[in-house]
Chains A and B, each alone.
Chain A
Amino acid sequence: MDEFSVLIGGKAGFGIDKSSLIIASIFNQLGYRLYIYRDYPSLIRGGHTFSIIRSSKQKIASHTNKIDFLLALTQDTVDLHRDKLKDNAILIYDSDSIKQDTLPESGQAIGLALSKIIKEENAPEIMRNVCVIGALCKVAGIAWSSLEVVFKKNFPKIGDMNLKVARRGYDGVKELLNIESLNQKKLPLFTGNEATALGLIKGGLKAYIAYPMTPSSPILHTMANLAENFSLKVIHPENEIAVMLMALGFSYCGQKVAVGTSGGGFCLMTEGLSFSAMAELPVVAIVGQRPGPSTGLPTYSSQTEMHFALNAGHGEFTRFVVAPGDAEEAYYWSQVALNISWKYQIPSIILSDKTLGEGTYSFDESLIREIKEEAPLMWDGKGIYKRYMNTDTGVSPLAFVPNKDAIIKVNSYEHDELGITTEDPGQTQRMQDKRLRKEKRLTEELASYEAVKVYTNDRSSVGMLCWGSNKGVCVELGKKLHLKVIQPVVLSPFPIKQLTDALQSVKLLVVVESNATGQLVRLISRYGIRVQKKILKYDGRPFSLDELEEKLKEFVG
């Protein structure tokens, strides 16, 4: 099999998330490229939670609803996902809790008496999951040793018991297939959130400040776990207002800082975002999108904050907004965002979503352009220090406290070059011009980046336009259906020249977005670019390959 998908489902609290990572790690040992889609409700116990682990010889960044292996720990899993099974799919189920007469007719169903096994082994309930993982390995013809390696790494404390229970599953079923081992380099598995965190660290981050909010909390957790190792200052303050303002305190002291949240938290951060622009205190904000308005669907995904990110904060100011599409892009652009924020002394926003943030990817560092941490423009120590010196580029040289030769005044009011409040009309206009001038330089610099990415057949007259996490599903289908795929990665300052060049040969432009109103369509319409067809999805779930393919076929035959 060149590719196959495993769906594991149960209740929250059954260890579905951990199981999916273990299954992915086992296939990773065999040299496959992975992508995990996680679907879970906003609760701690109960409900229905599932993951789809897709393995392929090729690098992938999307899931499919055509399932080869269904691992069902509950009746719900069978009932809710039976339609996704391929004809020859294999179902491994808990025969103690799932009714025989509800099983699908096609394919093969293999029952394991999980409750009985758990009882006999005197193991905790949660280990039902490792029992089905054991069975999956045997059915798929995977050597016990591959499973053992992964288990030992993932369960350093209670590995023996887990292995014992997994062995019951392994020995309790027959080998039905032989999933071959591939001769290619194994890659690390990272979520988009982890890749973002590591990219920021690589970019020289000194402090990370966040209030927990799905889907960005895992960045906070990752940073907190890595704090000692990388000498990071990681803080979880009272709310997002404090988050942003605390970050500006770090920025004032010359320490690279980032914050992370979702739309609701970002609402609270906007007064501080505007302050960052006025006081020219660099900060990077990660906004993980989820469906709104308001609380919306906390644990699901959307692309609804593009215009919010582009317009957030009162007043007019230069900002850098980027929407990475997968783990490599998240890693790369996080570094770029830090560099740009400090080079231009502006706020940057990394627009992510639940699909990217909590999706797991095979991470291939060799695909990422090397990028160096750039030193910001520093004051030469001559004369009187002017924090807001009016320069040709709009960027004023920096000095940080304590500096015995400089008095460093930052100000949320309009201010003169020394940072003292002014309401003088001429000065007001000059300072606003100074700050906005930075956008010109930034736009010029961005011409040297792949701010708009173009994939597959360059001469195709049909173009698929996407942004953010839809990259994975669009690029894969673009290859299959011979369509040109165009992905604006930078959203502000908008790379209109690169987009226009990319659209040169395109006659039919189809946009794919995870929102109800077509936010990218609205953005590019400002530049006179028209889209012929829109494929919009706003049920909180990302496009699966099969689903998008069907929709595309309506337009492109």
Chain B
Amino acid sequence: MKNLGTYAQNTWCPGCGNFAILTAIKAVLNTLNDEGLPLENVVLLSGIGCHAKIADYINLNSFYSLHGRVFPPATGIKIANPNLKVIGHAGDGDAYGEGLEHLIFAAKRNVDMTAIIHNNRVYGLTTGQYTPTSPLGFKGRSTPFGTKEHPINPLELMLASGATFLARGTSHGLELLKKIFKEAILHKGFALVDVLQVCVTYYNMYEYYDKRVYELKDHNPEDYDQALEKIRQWDYNNDSPIALGVLYRKEAPTFEEGFPVSQVKPIERDARLKLLFNEAI
């Protein structure tokens, strides 16, 4: 097993849910490597926020992007070279707030990539403000008297947007995370894993989640209605049971398949340009 670590000093808080994601993704990439995936074919992207430091902590190709801007460069990379395995890590503020339009379009296009959302439902790096998935009434530093808006259900939104693989995990369930990550990475199409990743400093939900989560059994992820029902069971606001595992899966053509792959040699290119010049006379 390759270590895949770097010399960068890890600055996540002790007990941070990001450690589980880091451990899981390293383990899965090692497994996939053993099964034949060359690690140089992996490109890992991240946005901005605590989650994003994962780009510094994994010794693989990485693209440490801007806040909210993980999926546009991920799309560019995948179209530029469809042989690459593109994995985009993003926070909930990142993916569901600042860059929501990009997430919707990546799902709509069904670009073959994996989105791992470190959803702690709070802004950590900017010291504790509400995010698009914080519950109604959340008291953060920008909303000291509680938010007056409902959270979005990102999985329902992704289902509506055309994502072809949807799953949920938690940072208290390492084995399940590994299983889901592996399936998501192997899925051909846009795969999103919403990880209920706990921020111990600003929004410690370990106990809350531990009481409510359950692993899906006898669930057919290829059944849209079943998937929708399970996705709607918990709306990120109420206290319903929270389903974990693969919620939805579908096969569909992917976006990057639709682009020219052949190369035009400079000599041929110049000859074709000459033809265009003549046609314009």
Contact = CB atoms under 8 A, between A and B. Distances in A.
Interface of A: 28, 186-190, 194, 198, 201-202, 204, 206-207, 209, 226-233, 235, 237-239, 241-253, 255, 257, 271-272, 275, 363, 365, 373, 401-404, 406-413, 415, 419-421
Interface in B255-281: 259-264, 266, 269-270, 272-273, 276-281
Contacts of A248: 73, 76
B190 to A, nearest CB: 14
A286 B63 CA distance: 24
A111 B183 CA distance: 74
Interface in B64-86: 64-66, 69, 72-81, 83-84
Nearest to A248: B73
Contacts, number: 167
A230 B274 CA distance: 13
B40 interface: yes
Contact of B83 (A201, A235, A237, A402): A402
A275 B65 contact: yes
B59 A407 contact: yes
Nearest to A245: B72
Contacts of A247: 76
B76 A186 contact: no
Nearest to B48: A412
Given A250-B79, A401-B81, A409-B55, A186 B281 contact: yes
B272 A229 contact: yes
Contact of A232 (B66, B76, B84, B260): B260
A552 to B, nearest CB: 34
A242 B105 CA distance: 10
A410 B101 contact: no
Interface in B225-281: 259-264, 266, 269-270, 272-273, 276-281
A402 B272 contact: no
Given A201-B273, A402-B40, A412 B72 contact: no
Top 6 A-B residue pairs of the complex, sorted by shortest distance between their CB atoms: A249-B76, A188-B280, A245-B72, A249-B73, A253-B80, A246-B76
B186 to A, nearest CB: 18
Given A188-B280, A250-B76, A421-B56, A401 B264 contact: no
A465 to B, nearest CB: 32
A421 B69 contact: no
A237 B72 contact: yes
B61 interface: yes
Interface string B105-125: 100000000000000000000
A373 B270 CA distance: 12
B14 interface: no
A420 B264 contact: no
19 contacts: A188-B278, A201-B273, A207-B76, A231-B264, A241-B102, A242-B102, A249-B72, A249-B75, A249-B76, A249-B77, A250-B76, A250-B77, A250-B80, A252-B43, A252-B73, A252-B76, A257-B76, A410-B62, A419-B64
A409 B83 CA distance: 18
Contacts of A373: 266
B44 to A, nearest CB: 9
Contacts of A257: 76
B144 interface: no
A207 B41 CA distance: 21
B191 to A, nearest CB: 18
Contacts of A251: 76
B70 to A, nearest CB: 9
B63 A252 contact: yes
Nearest to B272: A229
Given A238-B105, A242-B102, A246-B76, A413 B273 contact: no
B77 A363 contact: no
B38 interface: yes
B152 interface: no
Contacts of B53: 421
Contacts of B264: 229-231
B102 A238 contact: yes
A188 B269 CA distance: 18
B280 to A, nearest CB: 3
A401 B40 contact: yes
B72 to A, nearest CB: 4
A408 B59 CA distance: 9
Given A229-B272, A411-B55, 16 more contacts: A188-B280, A189-B281, A198-B276, A202-B269, A209-B76, A238-B105, A242-B101, A249-B78, A250-B80, A252-B77, A272-B66, A401-B61, A402-B83, A410-B63, A410-B64, A412-B48
Nearest to B76: A249
Contacts of A410: 62-64
A81 to B, nearest CB: 28
Contacts of B75: 237, 242, 246, 249
A198 B43 contact: no
A271 B101 contact: no
Contacts of B278: 188
A410 B44 CA distance: 11
B76 A421 contact: no
A475 B211 CA distance: 78
A249 B80 contact: yes
Nearest to A28: B281
B101 A238 contact: yes
B281 A409 contact: no
Contacts of A209: 76
